[in-house]
Amino acid sequence: MKFISTRGQAPALGFSDAVATGLAPDGGLYLPESLPRFTAGELARFAALSYPELCYEFLSRFATDIPADTLRALVARSYTTFSHADIAPVVKLDEKTYVLELFHGPTLAFKDFALQLLGNLYGHQCQVRGQSINVLGATSGDTGSAAIHGLLGKPGTAIFILYPDGRTSPLQERQMACTGADNVHALAISGTFDDAQAALKELFADQEFRTRHRLSAVNSINLARILAQCVYYLWAWLRLPAGVREETEWVVPTGNFGNVLAGWLLQKMGVPLHSFRVATNQNDILHRLFTTGDYRVGVVTPSLAPSMDIQVSSNFERFLYFSVGRDPAKVREIMETFKRTGAYTFENFDRDTFTASRTTDEEIPSIIRQVYQDYNYIADPHTACGFKSLSKERPSIVLATASPAKFPETITSAIKIEPTAPSLEALKAKPLVKHKLPADAAAIRAYIDRHAV
CB of 216 or CB of 280, closer to ligand PLP = 280
Residue from 63, 87, 100, 308 that binds ligand PLP (CB under 6 A)? 308
Q: Cα 91 vs. chain centroid, distance in angstroms?
A: 21
Residue from 58, 163, 257, 344 that binds ligand PLP (CB under 6 A)? 257
Give dist(CA 187, CA 158) in Å, integer. 13
Q: Minimum CB separation from ligand PLP for residue 235, in Å?
A: 17
258 is an interface residue for ligand PLP by CB under 6 A: yes
Subset of residues 389 to 428 that bind ligand PLP, contact rule: CB under 6 A: 401-402
Q: Which stretch binds ligand PLP (CB under 6 A): 132-140, 195-203, 251-259, 367-375?
A: 251-259
144 is an interface residue for ligand PLP by CB under 6 A: no
For the chain, the farthest-separated pair of C-alpha atoms sits apart, in whole angstroms, at 60
Determine which helix (DSSP H) or strand (DSSP E) holds 256, and give its type and residue range: none
- Asked whether 172 and 145 are in contact (CB, 8 A), the reply is yes
Catalytic residue list contains 111? yes
- Phi and psi angles of residue 256, each rounded to the nearest 5 degrees, phi first: -85, 0
Q: Minimum CB separation from ligand PLP for residue 193, in Å?
A: 14
CB of 126 or CB of 398, closer to ligand PLP = 398
Q: Minimum CB separation from ligand PLP for residue 64, in Å?
A: 26
Give dist(CA 165, CA 417) in Å, integer. 29
256 is an interface residue for ligand PLP by CB under 6 A: yes
Q: Which stretch binds ligand PLP (CB under 6 A): 68-76, 84-92, 113-121, 250-258?
A: 250-258
Give dist(CA 145, CA 162) in Å, integer. 11
* CA atoms within 13 Å, Cβ hemisphere of 166: 5
Beta bridge partners of 94: 97
Q: Which amino acid is at 252?
A: V
- The vertex-234 CA angle with 230 and 236, nearest 5°, equals 120
Give dist(CA 361, CA 304) in Å, integer. 6
282 is an interface residue for ligand PLP by CB under 6 A: no
Give dist(CA 338, CA 330) in Å, integer. 12
CB of 78 or CB of 134, closer to ligand PLP = 78
Q: Minimum CB separation from ligand PLP for residue 165, in Å?
A: 21
Binding mask 105-124 for ligand PLP (x = CB under 6 A): ----x-x-------------
* CA atoms within 13 Å, Cβ hemisphere of 304: 26
CB of 46 or CB of 295, closer to ligand PLP = 295
Q: Minimum CB separation from ligand PLP for residue 41, in Å?
A: 31
Q: Which amino acid is at 100?
A: L
- Count of residues that interact with ligand PLP, criterion CB under 6 A: 16
Candidates 2, 92, 96, 111; catalytic one: 111
340 CB burial (10 A radius; 0-12, 13-18, 19+): exposed
Q: Which amino acid is at 33?
A: E
Q: Minimum CB separation from ligand PLP for residue 128, in Å?
A: 29
307 is an interface residue for ligand PLP by CB under 6 A: yes
Please name the residue ranges forming H helices in 269-312: 285-292
Residue from 124, 174, 245, 382 that binds ligand PLP (CB under 6 A)? 382
Q: Which amino acid is at 367?
A: I
Q: Which amino acid is at 272?
A: P
Give dist(CA 228, CA 63) in Å, integer. 11
CB of 50 or CB of 314, closer to ligand PLP = 314
Residue from 191, 253, 328, 408 that binds ligand PLP (CB under 6 A)? 253
| Burial readout 263-285 (b: 16 or more C-beta within 10 A, e: otherwise) | bbbbbeeebebbbbbbbbbbbbb
Q: Minimum CB separation from ligand PLP for residue 48, in Å?
A: 29
283 is an interface residue for ligand PLP by CB under 6 A: no
Subset of residues 208 to 247 that bind ligand PLP, contact rule: CB under 6 A: 220
Residue from 21, 140, 175, 254 that binds ligand PLP (CB under 6 A)? 254
* Residues at the interface with ligand PLP (CB under 6 A): 109, 111, 142, 220, 253-259, 307-308, 382, 401-402
Which residues are known catalytic residues? Answer: 111
